[in-house]
Amino acid sequence: MSGEFRFSFGPWNIHEGADPFGPAVRDSIEFGKKLKMYRQLGFEGVQFHDDDAVPGMDGLSGEQIIKKAKEVHSILESEGLVAEFVAPRLWEDARTIDGAYTSNDPACREYARQRTHRTLDIANALDTKLVVLWLAREGTYLREAKDSKVAVDRIVEAINDMLAYNPEIKIAIEAKPNEPMDHTYIPTTGHAIALGLLCDDPSRIGANIESAHAILAGLDPSDEMGFALAHKKLFSVHLNDQNGLKFDEDRTFGAVDLRRAFNQTRILDQYDYGRGGEFVGLDVKAMRTQKLEVSTKHLSNSRTIFLRLVELARTLDKNKVEELIGQRDYEELDMLIINHLMGK
């Protein structure tokens, strides 16, 4: 079964363990070394923030940025890897403190626009047509501080500008309800798809669904995926897990709630996710307690769990499921699923 899915992750998923309350606990692994780990871990797709590919890009000219991104593309080729997507990192610069596209300050919005153009140049140099938009600070801590109607208009304007800048790119919006903001303007997949309908070419706007983000919105990730699949909008996924409504934990896929993970693999497999070239993307972090030499297990374990759950989805007795649905015996259906997950 393995081999039907292509897997991806971003270099930030191998990290040093810093959190808001404490510094790094592991040494950094140099970018080139991380790329060498991809194939060994069973991955062929690399997800990028723009400055993962071109660090310090705000201090470089447009030409310098493209040159550096092309160098990264050559390294990818030599490692047998491809870039899945590039995402503008619009939440660290001082000019994005109050949001990027939705900032109240026109000079800050202009910075975001220019930075996004460079992101698209990088995507082009890395030979990917997919751009992910995690709209990190497009929200508020204080409802009265920004106008939510104007904010949506401004995000639409920014997306239209991207669509016009490169007529070939597709944009996957990664919805998240909170963190770093109290509330964001695009909290769920439904919001992302509806936002796309306001844009100049809705066919080029879809979603990147992260399991943890859906859970933080109080939703079931597999239902979010079903919604996107029904709209033909599931451009990518960020599989991981999450223990309740707290900070974004980015746990190993399936490590918290195996059944919830099973339902995600089941719907993805059932509706041929990946056949159109989509990657099974992971956005997982090693626990802070993990020692450096074993700090990539969360990635290979997530992949293994995904593939085992695909097998379980395929070996589930479908006739029995249909029969129990017909009888409306959902208690027995519940037991069937539990038994199946327990190997009984």
**Binding status of residue 248 toward ligand XUL by CB under 6 A:** yes
Cα distances from 340 to residues 154, 239, 330, 333, in angstroms, run: 48, 22, 15, 10
Please, what is the minimum distance in Å from the beta carbon of residue 238 to ligand XUL?
A: 5
| Residue count, binding to Mn ion (CB under 5 A) | 3
d(CA 14, CA 17): 9
49 is catalytic: yes
Name 326's Cβ contacts closer than 8 Å, sequence gap at least 6.
Answer: none
**Binding status of residue 51 toward ligand XUL by CB under 6 A:** no
Please, what is the minimum distance in Å from the beta carbon of residue 281 to ligand XUL?
A: 8
Q: Where are the beta strands (DSSP E) in the chain?
A: 7-9, 45-49, 82-87, 130-134, 139-140, 170-174, 183-184, 205-210, 234-239, 280-282
Phi, psi angles (nearest 5°) of residue 219: -115, 165
**Binding status of residue 87 toward ligand XUL by CB under 6 A:** yes
d(CA 331, CA 327): 11
Report the residue from 134, 235, 279, 306 that binds ligand XUL according to the rule CB under 6 A.
Answer: 134
Cα distances from 185 to residues 68, 217, 233, in angstroms, run: 34, 13, 19
Closer CB to ligand XUL, 82 or 209, in the complex:
209
- Positions 273 through 292 that interact with ligand XUL (CB under 6 A): 283
Please, what is the minimum distance in Å from the beta carbon of residue 197 to ligand XUL?
A: 23
**Binding status of residue 52 toward Mn ion by CB under 5 A:** no
Closer CB to ligand XUL, 154 or 176, in the complex:
176
- Positions 165 through 194 that interact with Mn ion (CB under 5 A): none
**Binding status of residue 238 toward Mn ion by CB under 5 A:** yes
213 is catalytic: no
The listed partner (ligand XUL, Mn ion, none) that binds 278, CB under 5 to 8 Å by sort, is none
Closest CA to 334 of 241, 265, 342: 342
Q: In one letter, which amino acid is 89?
A: R
- Positions 168 through 227 that interact with ligand XUL (CB under 6 A): 174, 176, 210
Tokens of 62: 């447009």
Q: Using an 8 Å Cβ cutoff, are 236 and 85 in contact?
A: yes
- Interacting residues with Mn ion (CB under 5 A): 210, 238, 283
- Interacting residues with ligand XUL (CB under 6 A): 49, 87, 132, 134, 174, 176, 210, 238, 248, 283
Catalytic residue numbers, as ranges: 49, 52
